[in-house]
A and B are shown apart, each in its own frame.
Chain A
Amino acid sequence: MHIWVFCISLLSCVQFVNGQEQELIEIEVSDSLDTKEKTPLSLRFGADLYRLIRSQTSDEYNSYEIVGDLRIRENLYIAMELGTIDFTQQSERVNFTTTGSYYKLGFDFNMYDNWEGMDNHVVLGMRFASSAHRQKLNSYQLLDRNPFWQDPETIIASGFATGESDNLSAMWLEFVVGFKVQLVKNVYAGLSLRLNRLLNDTPPKNFDNIYIPGFNSKTEDNKFGAGFNYTLSYRIPFRFKK
């Protein structure tokens, strides 16, 4: 009987010692993660190819966007986009030119678990964005429910409501989903989709911000918009190691 008790207590002692060893190992593992998290600061720059290509193929559309992000944690990036646009469009019964620039600043979170040596991204992110722009109404048509004298499609191209409004602005939030693929070392192709929520805007007099640089089309009585970019970017290969 005494022998049994001795054996059990011995076993439980061994168990206890084993448990302590495991704890020690776990502490070591989490320690090594800590040092890893401090290392991966890196900077990446790029440009949006969609705007670049569309600007080359269309006279009415001239827009450029540069993108950049800074890695601050293993999976967390500070991200921004800067862009300009000069865009003339016929939108149903109005023809207008939007000129301006915008910035978007926020963060990206990488959801993708990479294998050793890979660096691909599935990104969720958010941006605060703001534009400074002007709208020029080139021509428009009048609503004429009972046409008598003239063709109801008559285009008013000078005088009256036509002309330019400047010092316009808008602010909005963007919710980003996207991915980036490392094509070759330090070169990434990325696609991102954005859902935009307008916070406020300064509309032109007797017209509306129906297109906002960076936000894209704004529909009537609707605070939401959408956008995307298709980027090619380069990571500047530096890392701080502890």
Chain B
Amino acid sequence: MVILMVDSKTGERQAPSGFSIRALGTEKLLPQSSGDSLALPLQITESVTQFEFIFNQGSENQNIDTLQFNYQRVDQFINRGCGYRASFVLDPSPILILNSGNNWIKGALILKDTISDEASAHLGILY
């Protein structure tokens, strides 16, 4: 899934400073991208995937919001050698912020609800 980070005050598509994403339950940080969009890997055996969105990482005012992405999975047959290909359909309320209080993530906007490739962004995250 490809997300866009959007500044809700200025409307700019830009990742905030000191921003990183960690897959919940692992210590893996997702690779940073220089552009405005980020690719998030979804769990194919679950219908939710959780990530920690970290703002100002490493500094005093570090703020971590835990986001849950909700979706349905659809498997499409390719051939016997490749098996099936998973694509996803985002739920009408695609994200849930799991921690309470002082959230720096403001909301999300579905750009394209069917995730079958990574050619364009599917979800805008407002902060």
Residues on A close to B: CB < 8 A?
91-94, 140-144, 146, 148-150, 154, 156, 160-161, 206-208, 210, 220
Enumerate chain B residues within 8 angstroms of A143, measured Cβ to Cβ.
78, 82-86
Query: Does B84 contact A141, Cβ atoms closer than 8 Å?
Result: yes
Least Cβ–Cβ distance between B50 and chain A, in angstroms: 11
Q: How many residues of B contact A (CB 8 A)?
A: 22
CB distance from A27 to the nearest CB of B (A): 64
Residue pair A207, B77 in contact (C-beta under 8 Å): yes
B11 on interface, CB distance cutoff 8 Å:
no
- Chain B contacts to A: CB under 8 angstroms: 23, 28, 41-45, 49, 73-86
Known: A140-B83, A143-B82. A160 touches B41 (CB 8 A): no
Once the chains bind, are A141 and B73 in contact (CB under 8 Å)?
Answer: no
Contacts of A208 in B (CB 8 A): 77, 79-80
B residues near A156, Cβ cutoff 8 Å = 75, 84
Binding site secondary structure of chain B: strand
Let me know if B86 and A142 touch, CB within 8 A.
Answer: yes
Q: Are A142 and B44 in contact, with the CB atoms below 8 A?
A: yes
Residues of A within 8 A of B85 (CB): 142-143
| Known pairs A142-B44, A143-B85, A156-B84; A149 contacts B78 (CB<8 A) | no
A-B CB contact pairs (8 Å), 9 listed: A92-B81, A93-B83, A94-B84, A142-B83, A143-B83, A149-B23, A150-B45, A160-B73, A207-B77
Whether A161 lies near B41 (C-beta < 8 A) is no
Q: Which residue of chain A has the shortest Cβ distance to B85 in the bound complex?
A: A143
Residues A161 and B75 in contact in the complex (CB < 8 Å), given A149-B23, A149-B44: yes
